[in-house]
């Protein structure tokens, strides 16, 4: 039961942070969602690298930050809805650009964070 509470707390903070980012950055292009996913990828990469290379035994912190906070902060469902809306409105180039940016930048952010910690 304790693990559920830990995830719940982390997820709550991540979700509120994502909401704040989206409110501040979303305009014509969904920069808030993109930024939320990039930040979550960086944080996830940092802590995955930290746990893998430095400190492997703290399950509560893993659940709080990785499953809870990053899970609440990143948002694949919102990303899908935004891409679908762009396609429905005929903004195919914008949708393709958004998908490409989201995937490439988030992968690069995660990989860079892990790589830095490996050094």
* pLDDT tens digit sequence for 13-60: 999 999 999 888 887 788 999 999 999 999 999 988 888 777 777 889
Range of the domain at 21: 2-118
Report the share of the chain in percent with pLDDT over 90.
Answer: 67
The per-residue pLDDT for 98 is 96
The per-residue pLDDT for 119 is 67
User: 39: Cβ–Cβ under 8 A, 6 or more apart, which residues?
Assistant: 21, 73
For the chain, how many structural domains are there in total? 1
The per-residue pLDDT for 53 is 75
36, 85 Cβ separation under 8 angstroms:
no
> SS3 for 9?
helix
Question: Does 54 or 89 have the greater pLDDT score?
Answer: 89
Is residue 107 over pLDDT 90? yes
């Amino acid at each position: 039961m304790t693990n559920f509470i830990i995830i719940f707390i982390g997820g709550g903070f991540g979700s509120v942070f994502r909401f704040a980012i989206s409110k501040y950055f979303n305009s014509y292009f969904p920069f808030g969602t993109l930024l939320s996913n990039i930040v979550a990828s960086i944080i996830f990469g940092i802590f995955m690298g930290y746990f893998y290379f430095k400190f492997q035994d703290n399950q509560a912190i893993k659940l709080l930050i990785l499953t809870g906070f990053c899970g609440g902060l990143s948002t694949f469902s919102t990303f899908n809805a935004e891409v679908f809306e762009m396609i429905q409105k005929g903004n195919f180039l914008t949708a393709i650009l958004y998908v490409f940016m989201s995937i490439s930048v988030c992968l690069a952010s995660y990989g860079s964070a892990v790589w830095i910690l490996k050094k």
